[in-house]
Amino acid sequence: MTLTSDFAVSASVVNTKASDLSAAADNLLKKYAVHLESGAGAGRADRVFADTRTLAASASETLDLAGSLTDSYGTTTSFARVKFILIAASGDNTNNVVVGNNASADFVGLWNAAAILTLRPGMVVCAFAGSADATGMAVTATTADLIKIANSAGSTSVEYDVIIVGNST
C-alpha cells in the first residue's frame, strides 16, 4: 500500500474599522500545512483509518489504535505513531460528542489522560505533526492506545467523523 497525505489549517481574518475619510484594515492570513510521503520516519506515514461513526443515545465506544481498527479495505490496522488526527461532530447532532478519559490505556498524544474534549454539534478538533517530526504522537499498545468517544446524553444518537494517519513502526 502506498499512502501520501496532505494536511492544512488556515485562518483568514479581516478586521476593519471605519473613520471619517477612510477605513483601516488588519489582514491576517496564516496557514499551517504538512505533506507526508509513504513510509516510516520524518515526513512519512503508512497507515490510515477514516470512518463516519454513529453512537446511540448515551452510548460510548473505544477506538483501539493498536489493533482493532480496520481500514477502508477491511484490513486491521495498527498504529505505533499518529501524525494526524481529526474528530468532527456532525452539525446535525443534538447531543455533544465527548472525546477522552477512557480510565485506562488512554492515548495521550493530543491530550493528557484526564482530559476530556467536548465537541458541540459542528465542532472539529485536529492536530498534526510537522513533516520534520519523525515521532509524531506515540501509541503504546496496551498502555496508551485507546480513545474513548461518547454520546453526551440519552435523547438522540450522534454522528462523528474520525480520520487518523500515522505509522506502523
Cell 515526513 locates to 43
Domains of the chain: 40-167 (2.60.120)
Most confidently predicted of 99-103, 112-116, 136-140 = 136-140
Q: Does pTM surpass 0.85?
A: yes
Per DSSP, the three-state class of 166 is strand
d(CA 95, CA 81) in angstroms, rounded, equals 31
Please name every residue paired with 55 in a beta bridge, in sequence order, or none if there are none. Answer: 158
pLDDT digits (tens, 9 = 90+) for 2-58: 999 999 999 999 999 998 889 899 999 999 999 999 998 889 999 999 999 999 999
CB atoms inside a 10 Å sphere around CB 46: 24
Q: Residue 149 pLDDT > 90, yes or no?
A: yes
Contact at 8 Å (CB) between 99 and 160?
A: no
